[in-house]
Amino acid sequence: MPKGIRLTEEEQANRRHEIFHKVVKVFLKKGFHETSMREIAEQAGIGKSTLYDYFKTKDEILLYFFEDQLNDLTEAAQRIALQNIPADERLRRVMKTHMEFLQANKSSFMKLSLEAQRLKLESQNELQKKRHTYQDLIRGLVGEGIREGTFRKVDPLLAARMLINTLLPVVFTSRPTGTAQEMMEETMDIFFKGIEVCE
């Protein structure tokens, strides 16, 4: 892009996305904190000064990765949450989407999640806000299920956090008891039978 031509917000977002996905392999190979901004620029095929137009620091790059993923996941879940079907079925579909998302990003998710623990507090707080938005969406579906009479009365936020965390051992287990899909369906059955209204 020639100097002096301003990008639209959408164009800038797309460019940031392109840059990150060109450099993620070097992060996974060398480690995020061991990779320099010069190496990042070289991997992206741009000058170091151009890189700074999109990301001022390495923290911003890693923060972008998680924000981008959480935004995509939340948007997909919001579309499902708006469907005109019972809350328990929407919840199952959201969890299936979440599982598929984790599977598609399995290698980068685990490695970069460890690196994210070393982010500055300000960046970690930004990520926390995104996670809370997603948790609140799941909490809303649990609350709808309670109002519909499908689920018994429980703390919807606690249930949401527990439900989200059940996906990690399904996707990242070293001792699978079936396919990821089979394990997720059984996990959901186990979870739902603990909150369904007893006849």
Q: What is the pLDDT of residues 184-196, one digit of tens each?
A: 999 999 888 866 6
**Nearest-angstrom CA–CA distance, 148 and 166:** 24
CA distances from 65 to 91, 105, 170 (A): 25, 11, 23
Average pLDDT over all residues of the chain: 87
Q: Is the pLDDT of residue 5 over 70?
A: no
pTM, full prediction: 0.82
Query: How buried is residue 158: exposed, middle or buried, by Cβ count under 10 Å (0-12/13-18/19+)?
Result: exposed
The pLDDT tens digits for 130-149 are 999 999 999 999 999 999 99
Q: Residue 196: beta bridge partners?
A: 151
pLDDT above 90 coverage of the chain, percent = 41
Each residue of 97-136: pLDDT tens digit? 999 998 888 877 777 777 777 788 888 888 899 999 999 9
**Distance between CA 186 and CA 100 in Å, rounded?**
16
In order of their start, the domains of the chain are 1-56 (1.10.10.60), 57-193 (1.10.357.10)
Q: What one-letter code names the amino acid at 197?
A: V
The amino acid at residue 116 is: A
Q: How confident is the model at residue 24 (pLDDT cuts 50, 70, 90)?
A: confident
Q: How far apart are CA 134 and CA 70, in angstroms?
A: 8
pLDDT in tens, 25-54: 788 788 777 888 898 899 888 999 889 988
Q: Rg of the Cα trace of the chain?
A: 20
| pLDDT, position 2 | 43
- Grouping H, G, I as helix, E, B as strand and the rest as coil, residue 151 is strand
